[in-house]
Amino acid sequence: MKLDRRLISLAKSARLVVAASILFGFAAGILIVLQARQLSRVISQVFLFGQDLGGVRGGILGLLGVILLRGLMVWGAEMAGSLAALRIKTGLRQELFEHILSLGPLFASRERAGELVNTCLEGVDALDAYFSQYLPQIFLAALVPLAFFILIFPLAPLSAV
């Protein structure tokens, strides 16, 4: 798939929901780093400093909290993406319906009704994955690695590079 200007113009009608999907996905990406950091702290406390379960209880609870928060962010990103796709598809179907009506009954009588309905329903449904998953992932593919670099560079420059 690629970015198509016509499809992007359709996404303008749901830009806030698409932005929410990207924001939730970005937060989930940041939480991956925090999860890894918290896990490494717990492991180092056990293996390097000889802590027992009681000594790492707070770290384990913190790790659990980060995991749960990350799950919520992923869920939010999926829900926002699905809502964006639904809004865009509904608007596109409305435009198609209005266009068919503007062409008049003569046009409709020359076309097969089943093909028109199929295009309006299944053809538009085929765009679901593009708007709910692909479009937000394009932005996340650029933002999340940059955020990883910014977060990791002060801690371990070689690892960040």
In this prediction the pTM is: 0.84
pLDDT of residue 27: 97
Q: Which two tokens stand for residue 124?
A: 């538009």
**One digit per residue, pLDDT tens: the chain, 161 residues?**
567 788 888 888 899 999 999 999 999 999 998 999 999 999 999 999 889 989 999 999 999 999 999 999 999 999 999 999 999 999 998 988 888 888 777 776 776 767 777 877 888 888 899 999 999 999 999 999 998 899 889 988 998 88
**Sign (positive/negative) of CA torsion 17, 19, 25, 31?**
negative
Query: What pLDDT is stored for residue 17 in this prediction?
Result: 95
Residue pointed to by tokens 């996340």: 140
Quote the tokens at residue 127. Answer: 């765009």
CA dist., res. 117 & res. 112, Å (int) = 9
Q: What is the pLDDT of residue 25?
A: 96
pLDDT given for residue 117 in this prediction: 75
Q: In angstroms, rounded to a whole number, what is the distance separating the alpha carbons of residues 157 and 95? A: 52
CB-CB contact of 84 with 18 (8 Å): yes
Place of tokens 């650029």: 142
Q: Which residues contact 22 (CB under 8 A, 6 or more apart)?
A: 77, 136, 139, 140, 143
Q: What is the token pair recorded at 65?
A: 């909290």
* Cα–Cα distance, 97 to 125 (Å, whole number): 15
